[in-house]
Homo-oligomer: A and B are copies of this chain.
Amino acid sequence: MAKDKGPRRPRAETPKGFRDYFGAEVTERKAMLDKIAEVYHRHGFDPLETSAVETVEALGKFLPDVDRPNEGVFAWQDEDKDWLALRYDLTAPLARVAAQYRNDLASPYRRYAMGPVWRNEKPGPGRFRQFYQCDADTVGSASVAADAEICAMLADALEEVGIPRGDYVVRVNNRKVLNGVMEVAGIFDPADPEKFTHERGIVLRAIDKFDRLGPEGVRALLGAGRKDESGDFTKGAGLSEAQADVVLGFISAKRDSGTATVARLRELAGGSQIGLEGTQELETIAELLAAQGYGPDRITIDPSVVRGLGYYTGPVFEAELTFEILDEKGQKRQFGSVAGGGRYDDLVKRFTGQSVPATGVSIGVDRLLAALRAKGRSQTDTRGPVVVTVMDRDRMAEYQAMAADLRRAGIRAEVYLGNPKNFGNQLKYADKRNSPVAVIQGGDEASRGAVILKDLFLGAKIAAEASHEEWKSQPAQTEVPREDLVAAVRQMLGQG
């Protein structure tokens, strides 16, 4: 251990933007990840665990998000002068794996991955620099059946973790349709795909803000620009009114059924070859999903879905929770997006030069957990262990035998291991642990082969509500023969 001879002690603090997770926070997340993994696994997806560290070269130095080009990664230089970095998502490592093991992996390669990712961003409230992602991707399938499968699996996963049907919707769009609309609007040229990249970036970001800004706000961003409430001005894409009309028509193309939406999109973008292709893909996806019973109450075609990442090349999808919660200011708002993904056919190409079709989804585990908690749907048992108290230090072995008996019966139990001198401290400890039952055996009880069981939940209730007389009668406390310990505790825990 580093010697600490100077007067200055190290600060006991997490680094800024990082946090610790205790007890039920850990088990709740684990239970959720286990359930999602089970869904992915049942669909034939195989787990993959890559290391947290990648070469900057393999990762790309910055996040691939055109929206936020300054977001970075945590990176450092190795002794060999190589730059290493913490992964910022689970897709970049998958692209590396798909390239590195391309001769060994089954193709298509269906894989799932779950684990922390790191972002070197300015931390904010509820915004951490390490958080969990939980991804499923299919690499090597050009078929939109793969996209449909991902959407169906996402719906299954949400229901499996406790979001009932009706409380979520998976919205599906297609970048090709979007490009078709851009082509019709005159800001995409199939012969020179790089042209107008800047303008299209502004248009995509404007569409993404439709929910928040409404049609007029988006129209301003499509045109000259927009001044927000604080007076800040955002430069627009410089589109004409007619061009903006095409784009706005696209955003509001959603109809009641997938068929009707697809028909409307065909009107809007059908004049473009790529637009037509995208529309047909959406139609196939809608048909495949309908045939499997995933109706528009669960998965719906929605032209306003964009997804920020620049790398998507075909279908894009987003899962939204539709119920309302109270935000920090006590105002009702929809919970919003908890998962997203899409088709990205060019990620592996970076390494191999060959285009590899791929599609996948990433679930924002921490947001999804927050949603379940907000709805009170978390099912984790937050009860602490049964605490065997220590009345007589010399009989420690006997107390440990009691705890062992309880554990053998599947009951979580422990012996108090702090200083046993002050018995009140032992009960305070049991309260702090949220312990349901305290086991007590002093010399008297031991001599008649008995133990006292104290129902701590009932005890707390009585302390809060009962009269002095009720309290004195100690209904929360009962003496049982030592050999009945396990059965009596089991009954107190409602497992009788």
Contacts and interface: CB of A to CB of B under 8 A. Distances in A.
Interface of A: 1-2, 4, 9-16, 18-23, 25-27, 30, 41-44, 46-55, 57-58, 60-62, 64, 74-76, 78-80, 82, 84, 86, 96-97, 99-101, 106-108, 110, 116, 118, 120, 129-130, 138, 140-143, 145-146, 148-149, 287-288, 291-292, 310-311, 346-347, 350-353, 384-385, 387, 396-398, 400-401, 403-404, 407, 410-419, 429, 432-433
A74 B64 contact: no
B351 A12 contact: yes
Nearest to A420: B143
29 contacts: A2-B62, A10-B350, A12-B100, A13-B55, A13-B96, A14-B50, A14-B96, A15-B51, A15-B55, A15-B82, A16-B80, A20-B50, A21-B48, A21-B49, A21-B50, A23-B46, A27-B47, A42-B412, A44-B384, A44-B385, A51-B116, A74-B84, A76-B76, A107-B418, A107-B429, A108-B417, A140-B418, A149-B400, A288-B396
A149 B415 contact: yes
B42 A130 contact: no
A11 B149 contact: no
A47 B76 contact: no
A385 B419 CA distance: 55
A407 B293 CA distance: 15
A433 B104 CA distance: 11
B51 A414 contact: no
A9 B141 CA distance: 23
A291 B401 contact: yes
A466 B350 CA distance: 47
A351 B417 contact: no
The complex is assembled from copies of this chain, and their number is 2
Contacts of A291: 397-398, 400-401
A412 B44 CA distance: 6
A406 to B, nearest CB: 9
A79 B46 CA distance: 38
Given A43-B385, A106-B433, 11 more contacts: A1-B64, A1-B346, A11-B351, A12-B97, A12-B351, A12-B352, A13-B58, A14-B96, A44-B403, A44-B412, A143-B417
A189 B46 CA distance: 59
Nearest to A106: B432
A154 to B, nearest CB: 15
A41 B25 CA distance: 14
A13 B19 CA distance: 31
A22 B48 contact: yes
Contact of A53 (B18, B21, B108): B18
Given A20-B51, A146-B417, A384-B44, A9 B400 contact: no
Nearest to A147: B417
A145 to B, nearest CB: 5
Contacts of A50: 14, 20-21
Contacts of A106: 429, 432-433
A345 to B, nearest CB: 12
Contacts of A407: 42-43
A287 B400 CA distance: 12
Contact of A52 (B13, B42, B52, B60): B52
B14 A288 contact: no
Contacts of A101: 20
